[in-house]
Amino acid sequence: MTREELIQILIPERVRQGAAYRVQDATGMIKLDAMENPFVWPSYLRAQYAERLANCSLNRYPDPYASNVRAPLRQWMKIPESLDILFGNGSDEIIALLISSLIGSGRSVCAPDPSFVMFSALANQYSVTFEALPLDAAFDIDLDRWLAFLHENDPALIFIPQPNNPTGNLFSRERLAKIVEATTALVVIDEAYTAFTDADFLDWAVTYPNVLVMRTLSKVGLAGSRFGMLVGHPAWISEFDKMRLPYNINTLSQTAVQFALEHAPILEEQSFRVRKERTKLIRELEKR
């Protein structure tokens, strides 16, 4: 039997008909599409960081729980003590973990349309039905349509980016509350861009039994470390932790995050600069 015939037999059609995720070459362009922090650490910090890396024990497996990161991260993000944290290799791993946990339930995954592409991409990878929920003309939650959908359907998981990617706006808090209260689905609020807004939904993970919050350090200057997190009640976190691969956060990433949190004011100052530049860009575009 040929290699091509084996591929036809062993690889499902959904995989064969799909396409690998590719990042376009941005050489010579002003790169804004990935929403990265454009600022690097000061030279004196980079020297200290290099020294810290030199002392990493790369011959040993990493701390499977990223223990040295938990307390400073909880303090910096003001995560309530009643909530637990699960770390992932970027938010993508958290999304994959949540969706893969639902395989066999027969229930769908939902997200606004448009929103972060990985919600639908990962649902498709795991053969979980994905439902796109349209936004209204102002890119807000189309409350009547969403409530009608929830009345007729029973999704298992709803992702809500807050603020939304790619539209950039915050959804109405009141409309979002009505969605959370109208469904038995797990609602995951993706706060990837929380550093660039005054909104915060961590308290909802305490108040609502069906709400979790997802965050990342990618947008505040640590995109290369691939460090995401899921925050929620310990009962939820313990279930999803069963699906997490061991040693999923490598030693270099843990060291980078720990070091960055020791110098959190730098992250905050750079995020503030990004917000100022955003305002400046909007004003310039409005003139055209």
pLDDT tens digits along 243-274? 999 999 999 999 999 999 999 999 999 999 99
In a domain, residue 47? The reply is: no
Q: Which domain holds residue 218?
A: 72-266
Output the pLDDT for position 252. 96
Output the pLDDT for position 94. 98
In a domain, residue 49? The reply is: no
**Mutual angle of helices 251-262 and 67-77, in 10-degree steps:** 40
In a domain, residue 287? The reply is: no
In a domain, residue 31? The reply is: no
| Spans of the chain below 70 pLDDT | none
In angstroms, rounded to a whole number, what is the distance separating the alpha carbons of residues 231 and 164?
19
| Long-range contacts of residues 61-64, Cβ cutoff 8 Å, at least 24 apart | 61/247, 62/247, 62/249, 62/250, 62/251, 62/254, 63/251, 63/254, 64/246, 64/247
In a domain, residue 94? The reply is: yes
In a domain, residue 29? The reply is: no
In angstroms, rounded to a whole number, what is the distance separating the alpha carbons of residues 14 and 4?
16
In a domain, residue 17? The reply is: no
Output the pLDDT for position 20. 87
Output the pLDDT for position 71. 96
Q: Is residue 114 reached through a cis peptide bond, with omega within 30 degrees of 0 on the bond before it?
A: yes
Output the pLDDT for position 44. 93
Output the pLDDT for position 159. 98
Kindly report the pTM of this predicted structure: 0.92
Q: How many domains does the chain have?
A: 1
Q: What is the CATH classification number for the domain harbouring 207? A: 3.40.640.10
In a domain, residue 282? The reply is: no
